[in-house]
Structure 1
Amino acid sequence: MIRHSLLCVASALALAGCVAGPPPEVATPAPALPEAYFYAPNATTEVTLSALLPVEDPAFDTLAAQALAGSPTLGEAAARIEQARAGADRAVAERLPSIGANASVTGQRTNPSQFGSDLPPGIAFDTERVSYAANLTARWDPDIFDRLRAQERAALARVDAATASARGVRNALLAEIAASVIDWRTLSGREEAIRSDLAAAEDLARLAAVRERAGIAPGFDRVRAESAASASRSRLAALAGERSRLVGRLVTLTAQSAQLVRAALVQAAPPPRIDAVPASLPSSLLINRPDVLAAASTLAAEDAELAATARRRFPTFDLSAVIGLLTFNLADLFDEESLVGSLAGSVAGPLLDFGRIEAEIDGAAAEKQAAFQAYRGAVYTALGDAEAGYGVASGAAAEAEAAAREAAELARAARLANTRYEAGLSDFLIVLEARRAADASGERAAAAAGRVQRARVLLWQALGGSDLP
């Protein structure tokens, strides 16, 4: 009879959980990507992604190693991974039995009056008793409806998301360091061009002064030549502020002192080698971009969370057992008669919760939908970054080539104007205008060359980055 009643109760609970139906379906179709990038060049040579970084620059090599070893940002990302792993370990442990032990000593005093005064003759009992107990307990949820298994899948997916996010932090850190080192080298190129302009302006001022003393040129020519030299000195002085900004930025990125950062930056570097940009396919973003991988893992976690929430409508089963020792005399604790134990099984499930679980399921479904839209956003953000990266890299290379050609032509024009002026075939105003045009072009060419390398770093990050060699 008792067995029949338990069976009826279990059946009612199972039926109550099953009548609500399956969880809502949330469509998550794969985003449609083009077959090729619109702005990608027709590359025929194999180029690795790491070639887009200034890997041959000793300053980048030193600063990147320092940052990877002690960056607070990377340390925080690593801690997030450990936090996610701890959650996954807990989810795995929840599916295993839990075994414990306990021991107790209990003293009890009884008032004989509570039993009345008409006890049979010869009946007596101890009013004070001390019991000694030691127990080994075990409990296990067999997870018949896979609720705990779904929570485990969600926790493991969050580990993958944290790992991908940490890789994204690493890529961003390396990109920032590479860009800062490139900016430092660009400042050196600009300084060299400005010093060349300053030397030419000072030579022109000396020539104007000689002609002024000879009485064959007005003093105004010398003044204008000296003003051009002063303008070059002003541009040169402005570079110091830009250098201090870069050092401060690298101090933040590498967690090193300004002295160590400066020592790394002053190392001599070979001329940058500009190889062709690597070929890639839009589909590779799904496996290379850290933000896309993190979004995909988050979507998988939300899907598993939805499954776990939906399984709350089903009954849960619990098995427990206790085996131990119980005695009222400490000397008899290990006697055979002191052995006690129990074995129990229970089932519990919702019968009437007035929509609480359904509301939780709807909330989990909305979380999954939001995660899917975030995943789509990450995919198309990556696609846009890659398209822009290819286009900017191509445009920057064309700009740098044109700027270098312009600088060479204007420098040649300035030399010709100066030669004609010395021969008395041209006036000073023509020489000065030619010199001013040449002055600006050299610095522009150096800045354009730096933008080429910066664009390559952005492309490296847009395509997902890669490990350093």
Structure 2
Amino acid sequence: MRGLLFATSALALAACVAGPPPEVATQAPALPDAFVYAPDASDAVGLVALLPVGDAGFDVLAQQALASSPTLAEAAARIEQARAGADRAGAERLPTIGANASVTGTRTSPSQFSSTLPPGISFDTERVSYAANLTARWDLDVFGRLKAQQRAALARVDAADASARGVRIALLSEIAASVIDWRTLEAREAEIRNDLAAAEDLARLAGVRERAGIAPGFDRVRAESSAATSRSRLSALSSERARLVGRLVTLTAQTAAQVQAVLAKETGTLDLPAAPATLPSTLLVNRPDVLAAAATLAAADAELAATARKRFPVFDLSGALGLLAFGIGDLFDSQSVVGSLAGSIAAPLLDFGRIQAEIDGAAAGKSAAFESYRGAVYTALGDAEAGYGLVAAADSEALAAAEEASSLQRAARLANTRYEAGLADFLTVLEARRAADASGERAAAALGRARRARVLLWQALGGSELNPSGE
């Protein structure tokens, strides 16, 4: 009865500081019904088709990066770290069992009892005891504090997993963009070489007419200056190429020679797939940053609940079962068996605001996590809108640039034909050639931007599964 009275009194006193955790409003963000820049209708194209998966260079580099990228390895280690924390939180809910053994020697001075002892009374001044014990302790977690901590740890695992997926998507998108830039450089180089060949032919023709005395030498000089301009543009591509190789070395953890060897592989012409139609709500389940923010919010909510439960009593059971003997031969005698069993309750009575301060901090952490989640949602919406808009604008630019290049090249050929027939002067030919110069390069660059825009849209929509073989 005395024990029951003590427990009831402790619970009554604990009720003075106990109570539910504070409410933190976390309403779901309002999402639009559709994307403004998304296409009205779309072919049934998969999200992965937005990547240059048919490019041999991208397929190999993506496979190498997924296998050996230090960034991905670090993200995987973060997941393992979070899982270890979750395992520890789960183990805290189980009993703790231990064992110990000891040998203790004691020497007592007879003078501490008096100078003389009654007749027939004596004791050993030296004694050796032998003990072996099996101990156990268990926090019953009546109010669910440990369970809430475990829930928070599991949510941290989900957040780490989503973050790792985000790293993977960012890595693949960077590789895809770099490979597209490399192929765009190759196309630009081919167009510049065509411009250079046309300018050199024009300079050669002007030289022939100069030596024949039917054209001034100034015509040849102007044609050669046009060829020199093309050579300068061609040389400028080297710095861009070196930058791309360095970037791919960082992304794939391969040497520059290996990267160049992979990029040298021939690849077919890549199409421009239509942008797949999707809904804003799909971002909540596809975007890794949104999933990570949602998991972090769940962890903050569980941590707030665990912190609030510190105001409730803690019930502990503990026990020990062992052997105690004063002679090594008596250690396993039945009379040497000893044991104990105890139950305890501990509750905060007056902590002068310590627990409340922790609860306020956890509530503020949950509010911050919710605002971070809202920010991730609207960032995803903005990225998707921008991605759709960039695809539409880049496609229009690529089409216009291709038509411009075709028209200017045709005009240059007609002017050259008329010049050879004596129906146009050299200045007309030179102006037509200068107008046509770089038009093909601009068209190639515009096409590269259109392909790059699709990679940005793929990343904005949350990416898609891409196995290590690049498929």
- TM-score, scaled to structure 2: 0.98
Residue 248, structure 1, aligned to residue 226, structure 2: no
Moved more, 159-168 or 415-424: 415-424
Match of 2:130, SS state, is strand
How far off its partner does 1:5 sit?
4.5
Runs of 4+ in 1 over 4 A off after TM superposition: none
Which AA in structure 2 matches 1:447? A
Instruction: Tell me the distance in 1 between the aligned counterparts of 2:404 and 2:411.
Output: 10
Which AA in structure 2 matches 1:76? E
Show the 5 A alignment for 1:39-78: 39-78=37-76
Which AA in structure 2 matches 1:246? L
How far off its partner does 1:440 sit?
1.6
C-alpha distance after superposition, 1:369-427 (max 9, x if no partner)? 00000000000000000000000001001100110010000000000111111111111
Contact kept in structure 2, 1:13 and 1:315, CA below 8 Å = no
Show the 5 A alignment for 1:354-393: 354-393=352-391
Instruction: Tell me the distance in 1 between the aligned counterparts of 2:20 and 2:95.
Output: 29
Match of 1:340, SS state, is strand
How far off its partner does 1:227 sit?
0.6
Show the 5 A alignment for 1:245-284: 245-284=243-282
Which AA in structure 2 matches 1:329? G
Contact kept in structure 2, 1:102 and 1:135, CA below 8 Å = yes
Contact kept in structure 2, 1:43 and 1:276, CA below 8 Å = no
Contact kept in structure 1, 2:99 and 2:133, CA below 8 Å = yes
Aligned to 1:441: 439
Instruction: Tell me the distance in 2 between the aligned counterparts of 1:256 and 1:166.
Output: 21
Show the 5 A alignment for 1:17-56: 17-18=17-18, 21-56=19-54
Instruction: Tell me the distance in 2 between the aligned counterparts of 1:278 and 1:435.
Output: 40
Aligned to 2:11: 11
C-alpha distance after superposition, 1:115-155 (max 9, x if no partner)? 11343211111111111111000100010000000000000
How far off its partner does 1:239 sit?
1.0
C-alpha distance after superposition, 1:207-241 (max 9, x if no partner)? 00001001111100000000100110111111111
Q: How many corresponding residue pairs?
A: 467
How far off its partner does 1:172 sit?
0.2
Aligned to 1:191: 189
Instruction: Tell me the distance in 1 between the aligned counterparts of 2:88 and 2:8.
Output: 34
Show the 5 A alignment for 1:314-329: 314-329=312-327
C-alpha distance after superposition, 1:283-342 (max 9, x if no partner)? 000000000000000000000000000000001011001000111101111110110000
Instruction: Tell me the distance in 2 between the aligned counterparts of 1:243 and 1:4.
Output: 81
Match of 1:39, SS state, is coil
Moved more, 123-132 or 456-465: 123-132
Which AA in structure 2 matches 1:269? T
Moved more, 371-380 or 416-425: 416-425
Match of 1:101 among 96, 99, 102: 99
How far off its partner does 1:275 sit?
1.6
Instruction: Tell me the distance in 2 between the aligned counterparts of 1:81 and 1:361.
Output: 28
How far off its partner does 1:46 sit?
1.1
C-alpha distance after superposition, 1:251-305 (max 9, x if no partner)? 0000011111111100001101112111110000000000000000000000000
Unaligned ranges ≥5, structure 1? none
How far off its partner does 1:164 sit?
0.2
Contact kept in structure 2, 1:54 and 1:60, CA below 8 Å = yes
Contact kept in structure 1, 2:387 and 2:456, CA below 8 Å = yes
Instruction: Tell me the distance in 1 between the aligned counterparts of 2:372 and 2:23.
Output: 18
Match of 2:34, SS state, is coil
Contact kept in structure 1, 2:412 and 2:433, CA below 8 Å = yes
Residue 143, structure 1, aligned to residue 116, structure 2: no
Match of 1:288 among 281, 286, 289: 286
- TM-score, scaled to structure 1: 0.98
Instruction: Tell me the distance in 1 between the aligned counterparts of 2:3 and 2:463.
Output: 64
Instruction: Tell me the distance in 1 between the aligned counterparts of 2:172 and 2:7.
Output: 64
Contact kept in structure 1, 2:42 and 2:276, CA below 8 Å = no
Q: CA RMSD in A?
A: 1.0
Match of 1:310, SS state, is helix
